[in-house]
């Protein structure tokens, strides 16, 4: 009887699964108020959708069929809560990694008794890649993404050609990609990256007016107010899936 070979080192091991090493968010923000912490524990579970490595079923998630909007990096969630309450006919998948912000949004949602928002606490790059099905989104909103102003940090910016290509693939035909920033260099980079993506068309000539999103207008947030106070313009970009 042939003897069982003794296991030795695999001469041709499978390549390790590659993880994205550069994150678009910092790890430094840990301040959280008592109210946010309480809302994170008590209210967030009502709205939480855990990250999963396979496609999300929006009908099972929201209990209805409605146009689905993805918001990436909602910060404290004021914009999310404002848009979601003014657009009850839309469903919002809101993605953030910042615990205080998640507590804050959960608090707004509970106060307003909104039922059309779900929160995913995870890196949006993984969420888009793994959970959002191709052609499933009516819009993607990315308002004031971390600007990473130093040249050596530009590689951490969320908006890259690869990520925009992934977002475009998840938009339904005529779906909207709306971004805003108060950093001119980032705004110009966004305009270049979006304009080069073959599946997107600019709905405006260059930058858009703040009210240039035909599905849902961007309300003014604290970043918008700060930009105005400092005399910075805010640049909006509104593109459509071809
Ligand atoms: C400058 S804040 C803007 C917040 C909000 N959109 C607003 O307009 O007030 C950017 C937010 O994006 C979040 N963020 C950055 N990269 C992210 C990622 N890959 N996935 C999820 N959230 C991210 C950060 O935690 C931060 O709260």
Question: Each residue of 86-104: pLDDT tens digit?
Answer: 999 999 999 999 999 999 9
Note the pLDDT tens digit of each residue in 223-242.
Answer: 777 777 888 789 999 999 99
Supply the pLDDT for residue 5: 45
Cβ–ligand 1 distance for 80 under 6 Å, the answer no
Helix (H, G, I), strand (E, B) or coil at 158: coil
Residue 30 pLDDT exceeds 90: no
**91 φ, ψ to 5°?**
-105, 145
Whole-number Å distance, alpha carbon 24 to ligand 1 midpoint, is: 8
Superfamily of domain 43-241, CATH level 4: Vaccinia Virus protein VP39 (3.40.50.150)
Cβ–ligand 1 distance for 100 under 6 Å, the answer no
Distance CA 74, CA 82 (A): 12
Give me the active site residues, please.
146
Per-residue pLDDT band at 28 (split at 50, 70, 90): low
Whole-number Å distance, alpha carbon 30 to ligand 1 midpoint, is: 14
Please enumerate, as own/partner, the contacts of 35-41 that have beta carbons within 8 Å and a separation of 24 or more: 35/103, 35/107, 36/99, 36/100, 36/103, 36/104, 36/107, 37/103, 38/103, 39/103, 39/104, 39/106, 39/107, 39/110, 40/99, 40/100, 40/102, 40/103, 40/106
Per-residue pLDDT band at 3 (split at 50, 70, 90): very low
Note the pLDDT tens digit of each residue in 31-61.
Answer: 999 999 999 999 999 999 999 999 999 999 9
Distance CA 101, CA 76 (A): 4
Residue 64 pLDDT exceeds 80: yes
Residue 19 pLDDT exceeds 60: no
Note the pLDDT tens digit of each residue in 184-196.
Answer: 999 999 999 999 9
Q: 186, 159 in Cβ contact below 8 A?
A: yes
């Amino acid at each position: 009887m042939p003897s069982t070979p003794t296991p030795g080192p695999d001469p041709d091991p499978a390549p390790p699964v590659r993880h994205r090493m550069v994150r678009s968010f910092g790890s430094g923000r840990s301040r959280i108020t008592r109210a946010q912490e309480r809302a994170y524990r008590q209210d967030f579970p009502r709205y939480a959708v855990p990250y999963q490595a396979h496609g999300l079923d929006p009908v099972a998630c929201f209990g209805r069929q409605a146009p689905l909007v993805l918001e990436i990096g909602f910060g404290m969630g004021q914009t999310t809560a404002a848009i979601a309450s003014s657009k009850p006919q839309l469903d919002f998948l809101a993605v953030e990694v910042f615990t205080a912000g998640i507590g804050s949004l959960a608090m707004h949602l509970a106060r307003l008794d909104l039922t059309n928002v779900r929160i995913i606490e995870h890196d949006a790059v993984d969420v888009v890649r793994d959970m959002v099905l191709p052609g499933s989104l009516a819009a993607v909103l990315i308002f004031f993404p971390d600007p990473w102003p130093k040249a050596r940090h530009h590689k951490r910016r969320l908006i890259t050609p690869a990520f925009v290509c992934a977002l475009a693939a998840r938009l339904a035909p005529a779906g909207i990609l709306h971004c805003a920033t108060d950093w001119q260099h980032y705004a110009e980079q966004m305009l270049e990256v979006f304009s080069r993506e073959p599946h997107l068309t600019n709905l405006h000539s260059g930058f858009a007016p703040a009210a240039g999103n035909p599905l849902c207008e961007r309300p003014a947030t604290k970043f918008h107010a700060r930009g105005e106070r400092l005399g910075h313009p805010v640049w909006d970009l509104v593109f459509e899936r071809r």
